[in-house]
Structure 1
Amino acid sequence: MFKKQYLAIASALILTTTLIPTSSQAATGTKNLQAKYNNIKVIYNGAAVPTTIEPFIVNGTTYIPLRMMADVFSKDVAWDGTKYTITVKDKPNSQHASELAARDAQIRTLQGTIDSLNKQITDLKNSKSSRDDDDDVQDDLDDLEDQLDSDYDDYEDIEWKFTLSGDEDDIDVEIAVDKDEFEDEYDAMDDSDFEDLVEKVVEDIWDEFEDADIEGEIVDSSDDDDELWDFSADASDEEITFDGSVIN
């Protein structure tokens, strides 16, 4: 019994010496102390705290196992036998850690949703910008149509009707003539007259869209837009082709 008491007292003294700072260097060694056991119990929030080492009293001071109270207050206790040091720190709160992990997962999910929505917003803005650009190009093409209709409404005494479509890089051109209405005037034209018309129209288009490649045809509006001639123009080398032959 005395040996048990001695070991418990020694352990308590070591813990007390380590945890309570003193103004001078503590002495080391062994002391014989009288410990009083009186079936001391520790009650926490109305419940007895279990322990394998019974608390005891030395010189009017009650000593209880540090590890027992550390468990009560959710602390971790570590003993360094080489440095005679006790380290006490907070235990990881598994419930709290689980809640944090769940919140982190929720944040990642929300961030993914935000990123997806931001991408949709960017795509919509780009799409709107592209549509606006297309609308601007079409407005310019419509204006150019009106200008061509005005400039060539009496070319070779024939009224020519122009339709332009496409974008700033590729433009399709339809030049319509009513052969029934202007049969004599049309028949009086030779190949050079048509080539001259096409070359002038292409140059007018390049004045507005200098990088545009052009594909076009001359059609008979009185015969379901039957194709009469075809032509093309390559902006990179400014080459104009009419009915399969380069004309410039």
Structure 2
Amino acid sequence: MKLKRKKIARNIVITLLLILLMGSSVAFGVGYSKQITAYFNNIKVKLNGNLLNFSKEPFIYEGTVYIPLRDVSENLGLEVVWDGNTNTVYLANNIYGYGSTPRYGYNNPYVLNKDKEKEEEEEDIIKELEDMLNDDYEEYTEGKKDLEFEYSLDEKSRYIKVEMEGKNFEKDSSHWEDRDEDEFEDFIEDIIEEICDEIDDMDVKVDVEDEDGKSVGKYEYDESKDKFEVTFQYGSDGDIDDLEEELNDDYDEYTKGDDGDLEFKYSLKEKSDYIDVEMKGKNFKRDSSEWENRDEDKFKDFIEDIAEKICDEIDDMDVKFFIDDKDGKNTGIYEYDEGKDKLQDKFEYEQD
């Protein structure tokens, strides 16, 4: 897909804990003053291990450390200019053109304080896009049953986040299962194209949820690479098949034991709220020394590594492991809670 681009001025806010302009003359217009209580605790700041020197001593106010913006910026190789007419701080590698007037306007990616009118204009664009999507993309119709959505957009520092809340389906329902996957991906790409026609130089991330707020799909567009990617689709056999193949290639042996390796064959199934992992032992019985003399802690680490690999590919799903020996007798049951990032052993066979 080749997305079009409309070149419009963009402002990106840089959030810093650096507030004070030191070492230059700054004239403020209409403002206000406030008496504060600050703490000077001989605060030190290091850049790449090197101690920085400041023209004014850093201090703490309401739990935040304040340090001179100019000193830090110059140590980072940036020049600093204060524009008193617009109350704007400009940071750039080469901020001057001909003469002494800063040549960087709102196109400059290092502008700290955006013009209020410009900020409101961008908020209007986001709101208009949101209204348009709710009007024109309310329904996806390329399936046995229509899918209905409500959209909300949020502008982050580097990307536009699109939340698509399902209004008439659950993730385990036939509504979602029977959609045409390729056509649905085209539907998402069309949405991204609409956004990129209006907003320049921003990535787009789309999160699709069912009517209960459960994730059913995640999609990303990388603007710099002009690349669309499906990062997760609930119920996609391809994801499970690919994971199963990877596990059988990369985790076919557990080698941390005193009496030989343990070999496994994996099969994965996607349930409503967890991934079922069956690990069939290929070369050991549960009463054998291979199982008995494994390093138990390292074996749990082995299982946890597998769980984390699965959760890297499939979001918001727990993982349950059922381990059998080569005769099909159960030797272990483990559960991984994705939300708590915690593995529990529910059962481990031990000889009497």
- Please, what TM-score do these two structures have when normalized by structure 1? 0.42
User: Which structure's residues are more often helix, by fraction?
Assistant: 1
Q: Which has the larger radius of gyration?
A: 1
User: Which structure's residues are more often strand, by fraction?
Assistant: 2
